[in-house]
Structure 1
Amino acid sequence: MQNHGEAKYLIHAQIQANGVVEKPDVVGAIFGQTEGLIGEKSDLRELQKGGRVGRIKVNIDSDNGQSKGEVLIPSSLNKVETAVLAASLETIDRIGPCKANIGVTDVEDVRESKRDKIVDRAKEILENMFAEDDMDSREISKTVKRSFGESAITSHKGLNAGPNVESSDAILLVEGRSDVLNLLDNGIKNSIAIEGTDMPDQIEELCKQKKVTAFLDGDRGGDLILKELTQRADIDNVARAPEGKQVEELNHEEIKRLLKEKVPVEKSEEIKKRNQKTEKQRVKTAESNKEKSKILQKAKKGLKRRVSKKQKPEPSKDTEETQEKDQQKTESTETQKKQKDYQKYLNELEGTLKAKLLDKNKEEIEEIPVRELTNRIKKSKNTIHTIIFDGVTTQRLLDVSSDNNVKRLVGIKKGSIAKKPTDVEIISKKELS
């Protein structure tokens, strides 16, 4: 890469002229035919005097009475002004006495090129001069990029996001901060985190302004978020990670393929219904097989009872040990009963996007939509002991619960939790199974 001083952008343009022309002819045509075209403030001579446009470089060759070449113009203007300057070059139709054509082929971000060069060199230094650290090339690349700030997450209206969410016409909605970070590591800068099923109002507003693809985990949590998005926001397409996998775990090739395979949101609902039908058939078959197995086991037990002699149980040798075992058994039974109650509530709530609030005596206080959960906890005055809800336990929900003396959260899934308070128990559906 050539040195272009303090330029932010470098305009590349191709020249074709029907005749023999030289560098001074090209430079003269650029100054002469763009003068006054886009206003006094954007006059090329004035911009060059002020140091906002660099020295115009021309490379041109002539052959068989035809001239071809390239023009390079360094620019320290902003994106819009640079684009206007580049477009003005394409109005040039003569160079010297010859008919000519100029077409812009690229506007290079010089700073991006410099950053790439720094990252590549830093990776090289890290590999060669810190050999004792056992890091693979992918880990080195991530480490360098993050330390350099290339993968830094920004904040858009209080939500974790990539740096291009504001400027991009199309955005990706993902579940959490770690998903945004993984996409940044793989060069995708227009994603924003929903932060669980309690969808912020900012997302709803953002979906009205941009073309939106929901890029979600391939699990129950992803299903819940998609359900809420289709009810509350205007999304266009859906892309899903493979079943059981999360967006934060995907590599570059998987991300590229899955985004290419995204489907319109309406089609996504049809696919989901077909999958649910298949799953119901699978469960029905499994239950039928289980019932047959139970009948077979009963028959075997009956046969054993007929052929075996009755034996009296041996008396206990250690009364204290027996009592301890009985106590453990009682405690285990109580825990199982509690878990059964939670599982029953969770099964009732699943697919409703609602939450049940219980007091310390396990009495139901009320049932509310999941999206109102955070505000309701804040107003609870320490009366809520347990929350069972159809959603994902997020860091935000956990912090609010801890601040308001909620002792237990029972949800479908645990989200990305960086700091777990010691005074709140978290239970997922998987742990109750």
Structure 2
Amino acid sequence: MGKIGIAATKYVIKAKLTATGVVEKPDIIGAIFGQTEGLLGEELELRELQKSGRIGRIEVEVTSTEGKSEGTIEIPTSLNKEDTALIAAALETIERIGPCDAKVEVLSVDDVRSTKRDYVIERAKSILGVMTKETPESQELTEMVKEKVRVGEISEYGVDKLPAGPDLESSEEIILVEGRADVVNLLKHNITNVIGLGGTSIPHSIKELCSQKTVTVFLDGDRGGDLILKELLQIIDVDFVAHAPPGREVEELTSKEILKALRTKITKEDAVKAFEQQKIAYEQSQSRTQQLPARRVYRTSGETYGGRSHATTKSARIEVKPELEELSKISTGLIGTGQAALLAQSGTTFKEVGRVPKSDISSVLKNLQEGKAQALIVDGEIDQSLVNVTTAKGITYVIGSKKPRFLKRKPGIYVLDSTFLRKIVSEQGRSK
């Protein structure tokens, strides 16, 4: 017998049968062909349709219980819906199967193409979703190309080879930021008259450049940014001051945030007044603190200054371990790089064993052999999960440009803000 291809099937006729006696598959199939023969004319003769492949194999399932038989019949067809309906109706004319009375009832005629259409629609939705995510719009493509070009335009200025934008020297106004990562972010957002300090010390080439330009200092919105600004105001001629939002870094700002910060910049005079107000508030806090019965002293762990207060008395003595002095110097060299350094300790000195982008440090630490490094310095924020991982790897010193006020740590583990560390090292140097 001919067999219809699955791909060519349009409809499937489904029927149920009941017989008053025991019948088997050959009896049922014989009754289908025999009792419909000549009923619908030569063009719809089941044997001929099957030979030509216009109907498929007739599938029959039958069971017999207590002398009676029940079963199902399925006939796939590639005929049009009118001819398929005629064949389905013809099945219901079967009255006997073998020696038994029988009845056939058509349950349904399923449109196979409808099921396929449902699948096609759902699959198309899925594919379209992937295409929408993976295929950028023309505007996005243009921005991607522009961004690559801008980042590629980063150059070096002066003998200090400071990171800078291409329009630095030709522009009458320049923007001074902390490090290379800040320069890269501003270039991404089409701000090209920018230059980075490359550290906390002010290079001589910066001093010369700023004397000829209108200078806007654009710094992070944290304590470190304030300290750098104080130093800049003492050394170079600054015209305006802009800050990232509190707790944010310039390198992570969006275009909208950058433009807002630059639009709300203040003059040098206003910045000096703000520092004076901070100084007055601090001195008032000092006065109130000295009236308290308990003395506050620094703890070199950097977690707190003692008790719950961060104030200090004039009689407080700062003692900094030599190891921390060494780490303070190393952390200064990481400012603005956006990187993290792992260090091995030998006595009071440290040797760098690896340096990676700060975004990769978590995965690197997971694979780090325990005891291979004793210190981690990050040009970025420290969080509790990072402290937990470093402690498990035997790292004693964890230093970052920012950290939360409260962190859980084991005794003997130093978790430090690099700005705070540099400050207490500097104050110890002045007290000697």
Same fold by TM-score, threshold 0.5 exceeded?
Answer: no
TM-score relative to the length of structure 2: 0.41
TM-score relative to the length of structure 1: 0.41
